[in-house]
Amino acid sequence: MKEIILVKYGEIALKGLNKNTFEDMLTKNIKRRIKSLGKFVCTRAQSTLYITPEDDSTDLQEAVNRISKIFGIAALCRACVCEKDFSDIREKSYEYLSEILTYAKTFKVTAKRSDKAFPMKSPEICMELGGALLEKFPHLTVDVKNPEVTVTVEIRDTNAYIHAENIKGAGGLPVGSSGKAMLLLSGGIDSPVAGWMMAKRGVHIAAIHYVSPPYTSDRAQLKVEQLCEKLTDYCGGIAFYCVPFTELQEAIKDNCPEEFFTIIMRRLMMEIAQRIAADDGCLALITGESVGQVASQTMAAIGCTDAVCRMPVFRPLIGMDKTEIIEIARKIDTFETSTLPYEDCCTVFTPKHPKVRPLLADIEKAQNSFDFEPLIKKAVENTEMKVFNFSR
Ligand code: ATP
Ligand code: MG
């Protein structure tokens, strides 16, 4: 029996003239992700991708697991390839569905006939196959409203397919279809989730991280690198920029009023991020901020941070509660890594009483009392980049 993976598009199906570009990107993203599992042929027709392994021993379940994390997909499933002939469909379904039907109590059959030349109409296929399966597995009963197993028969261009599972895809748009943006990635819970959310909208992510040795440890950086690696399951390859931030933080501490430390630090982070982002072809910055979460995330504070930004800043978590963010972090498997207890540069020199409603004029005056430009240039020059890709 030949088995393949059927992948159904989500939003891409609604794209007009650009649809091909989106399909190409999705196909490329899928191929790249499953390449290490073996050789596959990918063809497409009627808003569906057919992923056929060249070798029967390929681990299709692992391929399905990986593809289920790729953006741009509404649903996917493993399916058995049949001749467009009812007796072949019936015989193959006995064998292909044997395990799942043996353990189920109720089922129903649905049919989709996109090839209208097929001699049986959909209701007839359902009746005939339903009857045959009932005879073969007499413990089953039909439940059209709430069946344990839905057997689907699809009559398409070259073949018919049967399957009994429909896995929800990750939704969104293929990564890369919306251009590239720079994610400010800390070791915390929020920013990996923010990156995942923008990748879902087709944004290719690069990541930037600020370290302040000796105040922050190597392990803190390793933790962020580990987060990057985890994100590649969803985001594909990620260029990771690591910025030495110690001198800038010390300069803030030595030259600015304590209550403004955090805001000025965030303004410098943004300044550095947008320079590196522009060089890398990014069109926007992404942060994990959420209104009111901490003093530097009040609307006034965000306004002061934004004032230095020359490119759009996306904050996909802006209206979310921490519990909602944590739910996603668990789902995408970044939560445990994010909660490892290593110090981030944000917690170095934190003011006892940060200004929650800072005035831009005050912040600018405080920041202008020292010439940060040479240190900014030096930090950008000494930034190190490495690329993360799928670890499997
Ligand atoms: P997170 O959970 O993402 O760390 P947070 O709630 O701890 O967020 P802050 O520490 O105020 O909030 O940081 C706000 C945002 O600034 C982060 O979501 C991230 O985008 C960025 N950021 C903070 N620290 C760093 C860092 N060391 N390197 C890169 N970006 C950072
Ligand atoms: Mg943080």
- The tens digit of pLDDT for each residue in 245-304 reads 999 999 999 999 999 999 999 999 999 999 999 999 999 999 999 998 777 789 999 999
Give the tokens for residue 166. Answer: 């429909």
Beta-carbon contacts of residue 39 (< 8 Å; ≥ 6 apart): 53, 54, 55
Which ligand 1 atom sits nearest the alpha carbon of residue 290? 6
Give residue-wise pLDDT tens across range 106-165: 999 999 999 999 999 999 999 999 999 999 999 999 999 999 999 999 999 899 999 998
Beta carbon of 220 within 6 Å of any ligand 1 atom: no
Cα of 391 from ligand 1 centre, angstroms: 25
Atom of ligand 1 nearest to the CA of 266: 16
Distance of CA 194 from the midpoint of ligand 2 (Å): 12
For residue 345, which atom of ligand 1 is closest to its CA?
27
**Tens digits of per-residue pLDDT, 63-90?**
999 999 999 999 999 999 999 999 999 9
**168: DSSP letter:** E
Cβ atoms 73, 67 nearer than 8 A: yes
**How many Å lie between the centroid of ligand 1 and the Cα of residue 321?**
16
Query: What pLDDT shows up at residue 356?
Result: 83
Query: What's the pTM?
Result: 0.94
Q: What is the pLDDT of residues 318-376, one digit of tens each?
A: 999 999 999 999 999 999 999 998 888 777 788 888 888 889 999 999 999 999 999 99
Estimate the share of the chain in helix, then strand, then coil, as percent rounded to the nearest 5. 45, 20, 35
Interatomic CA distance for residues 237 and 240, integer angstroms:
10
Label residue 374 exposed, middle or buried (CB < 10 Å: 0-12, 13-18, 19+).
exposed
Ligand 1 center from residue 97 Cα (angstroms): 49
Average pLDDT, the chain: 95
- Residue 13 pLDDT class (50, 70, 90 cuts): confident
